[in-house]
A = this chain, B = another copy of it.
Amino acid sequence: MIKLPNLFFGIKEDKYLIFDEHETVHFKTVRKKESDIIECTDGKGYYYKVKITQIGKKKSFGEILESKYIENNEKTILNLFAPASRWERLRWLIEKSVELGVDNIYITKTAFSNRDYKDKVEKINMVIRDSAKQCVRFHFPNVDFINFKNIQNYATKNTYFLDFNGQKLPANIASDVSIIVGPEGGFSKEELDFLSSNFNAIRLGNKILRFETAAFVALSYFAIALNKI
């Protein structure tokens, strides 16, 4: 039976890693005890081998035995502009984006998805952390909250938006890719005009998909093309 690794997240301070309450709960769930040796990351590219020195109620500590920077050997960037829409679907999309190796997640306010998730930063980071731990990613993606009108500042060479009137998926992609996905209600007329004059419209097919499913299909297509998974 394949045993999936248990990766833990800690913040480095001197020769120690500090684990917050969420991580402390994880220790208890998988029955880690003081003196156990565990594998950890800081989400910024570091791998740590750590000996747990103290498991508290809300915090735990470990001593770093080994550390190593894991090079991010990927040569390209994959960005997602996700609509600031219903939390459950957005949450799912963030979780899956991490698995698919997305580098930047821009949670974007559009005319028909203008929720403000800035107060959910911690919750979003927790989703990212848990997903990254599961699939053993040492480089967590960056998250930003932006307005639709600022998309251009973050767009990459190949920036696509999903639209039924778009072209088929491009066959060959070798450089950075950004994907812009509209919310359930679609883009407004003005937004579509802006997107059409600045970026490339692509369509996945002719059938209706939920926005987060469409986003996932597009992401996985480019993640395969760019060797992100």
Contact = CB atoms under 8 A, between A and B. Distances in A.
Interface of A: 1-2, 4, 96, 99-101, 112, 134-137, 169, 184-186, 188, 204-210, 213, 216-217, 220-221, 223-224, 227-229
CB-based closest 7 A-B pairs: A2-B186, A205-B229, A217-B220, A1-B185, A135-B208, A99-B213, A207-B229
Given A2-B186, A186-B1, A228 B205 contact: yes
Contacts of A184: 2, 4
Nearest to A136: B208
Contact of A169 (B2, B4, B169, B224): B224
Contact of A220 (B99, B135, B220): B220
Contact of A229 (B134, B135, B217): B217
Given A4-B184, A205-B223, 11 more contacts: A2-B184, A99-B210, A100-B213, A135-B207, A135-B208, A135-B210, A136-B207, A136-B208, A216-B216, A216-B220, A221-B224
A71 to B, nearest CB: 14
Contacts of A217: 100, 220, 223-224, 229
A216 B229 CA distance: 13
A73 to B, nearest CB: 11
Contacts of A137: 207
A148 to B, nearest CB: 15
A135 B206 CA distance: 11
A112 B2 CA distance: 10
30 contacts: A2-B184, A2-B185, A2-B186, A4-B184, A96-B216, A99-B213, A100-B213, A101-B207, A134-B208, A134-B210, A135-B208, A135-B210, A137-B207, A169-B224, A204-B224, A204-B229, A205-B223, A205-B224, A205-B228, A205-B229, A206-B229, A207-B229, A209-B229, A216-B216, A216-B220, A217-B223, A217-B224, A217-B229, A220-B221, A221-B221
Contacts of A112: 1
Contacts of A209: 99, 135, 229
